[in-house]
Structure 1
Amino acid sequence: MKKKEYRYEELTPKQKAAILLMSLDVDTASKVFKQLSLEEVEQIALEITNLQDLPQNIVDQVLEEFYHLMTAQSFMIEGGLEYAQALLEKSYGYEKAKEIVEKIRVLTSVRGFSILKKADPQQLANFLTKEHPQTIALILSHLPPDLVAEVLSEFNEQLRVDVVYRIAKLGKVSPQLLQEVEHVVDQIAEQTLSQNLATAGGAQLVANILNKSNATIAKSLLETIEERDYGLSLEIKRLMFLFEDIVTLDDRSIQRVLRDVDKRDLALALKVADEKVKEKIFKNMSERAAAVVKEELEFMGPVKLKEVEAAQMRIVDIIKRLEEQEEIVIGGRGREDIFV
């Protein structure tokens, strides 16, 4: 049987993805698969089964292309496409750098709308307000309705009405407008990618830090922030979860949390807890289980505050894990989490 010949120039994107995944160890490849849709997994798995006896030079070329694209993208995140090209030229020369950046530009264009679908509504609105209302209307017509509603709420009333009217009247679109829209989507997608690192900070980062700090330090820092900026302190509190916030959980959620909590940790955590917290927890335990914890509390000798706070943090970690697994709902996370 004649051995199949492969030419790098003729490889499809799916084949390149398959070759890349075949080059990884099983654990890493499985992590990548988890980030893909079922359809994408099936398509790439099919390519993997069809790719046999690959020459090493083909594999090397695919890996080299991936490396170049990732390098270019990291440069782009730092300072945009022009910055990426300038840095790449120093390593690979003008022609090769231009080729790499063009691939990134195409990838960004193809992924543009998918990136916009995940963009922060306020950030997206800020970008769009600089554009013509007809361009805004065409872009928003390709995005999910809930995201569009949030973006529109950020516009002033005049622009909001104008854009909604234009969306309602959208018909055939001129090639010139399509080209303009593609250019705008490219720009916004590029800027969205370049701001990913910046949006990782702010209130969310502080909330994450305070969640990992002991309660005394967290409380002190929150009080200081509240004195300087009350609105910011409220935003941080909304994003974090403290042990005393357990009273905001519904009874079913508390019962689910208690199934995973060590009884010793529970007793320690309640040592200095507010009466409302104790009442809420005991209410969701059987009489026998509650009696055991109360007895342990009664006969518990002096303990270090850091031990109590450590126990509280372990319980908070359980609560956050269960929320991530969507087994419980933490109140106050936003309107989408309200039950009616």
Structure 2
Amino acid sequence: FLENLEISSLIEILKKESSKDIAYILSSLSVDYAKNFFNEFTDNTDEIINVLLSDFKISKEDAEALQKKLFEKYKKFLSEESMRTDGKTALINFVNNLPLENSKKLYDKIEEVNSEIGKELRNKIFMFDDLTELDDNDIVLIINNLEHNSLISFMKSVKYEIREKFFRNMSERVASMFREDLEILNELSEEEKAITIDNVFNAIREILKYK
């Protein structure tokens, strides 16, 4: 069951075990897994190697007791790891579902509290500024899946750079039609723009499967 763990997780579990017990465990693992363990383990490797080189033995009772202890630690670790993972998933979902202003505030707070975790979560979070980084396929996907009037209102509300990114991914005929519709559409108030951007960006998150 230990080989179900990442090497770093096994190292965490074995931290307080004796060199003899670690040597016994390693001798029970596959060669590839044990090799990878040694590549990452930096503690008492000399002692472990000395035990492995000796004609060491472990009684059946001690082996069973060790296996039982490790299995309990394994279950506890998996439970804690699951909780940590679920916590991160929850934060990702919060950021990806909140209105834009609150979304950015929450992500900034995550980075402030733990910049490393912030970086880890970032590639699963879709922020408004990420629109300019989308590839052409994603933009086409958005154009094809957003309701026409919603996209028109959105393009009326966003800055020139984003608007042009959408135009570049339209055929000449479609782009011309959109430009005409944009000219016809009355200027939106700042409040209307904010509401439009929030609503449409939420739809974009769904289209790109960030929700």
Match of 2:13 in 1: 127
Secondary structure (helix, strand or coil) at the match of 2:119 reads helix
What one-letter code is carried by the residue in structure 1 that aligns with 2:16?
K
Alpha carbons of structure 1 residues 257 and 209: separation in structure 2 relative to 1, 3 Å: same
Which one of 104, 109, 129 corresponds to residue 219 of structure 1? Answer: 104
Q: Is 2:127 the partner of 1:242?
A: yes
Query: What is the count of residue pairs matched by the alignment?
Result: 196
Q: TM-score, normalised by structure 2?
A: 0.67
User: What is the CA–CA distance in structure 2 between the aligned matches of 1:129 and 1:231, rounded to whole Å?
Assistant: 23
Q: Is 2:201 the partner of 1:312?
A: yes
Contact 2:158 2:197 in 1 (8 A): no
> Which residues in structure 2 correspond to 1:170-185 (within 5 Å)?
176=60, 179=64, 182-183=67-68, 185=70
- How much has 1:296 moved relative to structure 2? 3.1
Secondary structure (helix, strand or coil) at the match of 2:201 reads helix
Alpha carbons of structure 1 residues 308 and 249: separation in structure 2 relative to 1, 3 Å: closer
> Which residues in structure 2 correspond to 1:75-94 (within 5 Å)?
none
User: What is the CA–CA distance in structure 2 between the aligned matches of 1:218 and 1:175, rounded to whole Å?
Assistant: 57
- How much has 1:312 moved relative to structure 2? 0.7
Please give the per-residue CA displacement for 1:131-173, whole angstroms capped at 9, x wherever unaligned.
4442553566388x6xx95x777x454567998x89xx9xxx9
User: What is the CA–CA distance in structure 1 between the aligned matches of 2:162 and 2:183, rounded to whole Å?
Assistant: 17
User: What is the CA–CA distance in structure 2 between the aligned matches of 1:244 and 1:282, rounded to whole Å?
Assistant: 18
What is the aligned-residue identity percentage? 22
Which one of 189, 197, 205 corresponds to residue 83 of structure 2? Answer: 197
Q: Structure 1 unaligned runs (5+)?
A: 1-111, 325-340
Q: Structure 2 unaligned runs (5+)?
A: none
Q: Is 2:176 the partner of 1:287?
A: no
- How much has 1:232 moved relative to structure 2? 4.2
- How much has 1:209 moved relative to structure 2? 0.4
What one-letter code is carried by the residue in structure 2 that aligns with 1:212?
N
Please give the per-residue CA displacement for 1:11-40, whole angstroms capped at 9, x wherever unaligned.
xxxxxxxxxxxxxxxxxxxxxxxxxxxxxx
Please give the per-residue CA displacement for 1:287-311, whole angstroms capped at 9, x wherever unaligned.
2223333333333331352232111
Q: TM-score, normalised by structure 1?
A: 0.45
Match of 2:163 in 1: 278
Alpha carbons of structure 1 residues 178 and 295: separation in structure 2 relative to 1, 3 Å: farther
User: What is the CA–CA distance in structure 2 between the aligned matches of 1:291 and 1:125, rounded to whole Å?
Assistant: 61
- How much has 1:246 moved relative to structure 2? 3.1
Match of 2:143 in 1: 258
Two-structure CA RMSD over aligned residues (Å) = 4.0
Contact 1:211 1:218 in 2 (8 A): yes
Secondary structure (helix, strand or coil) at the match of 1:200 reads helix
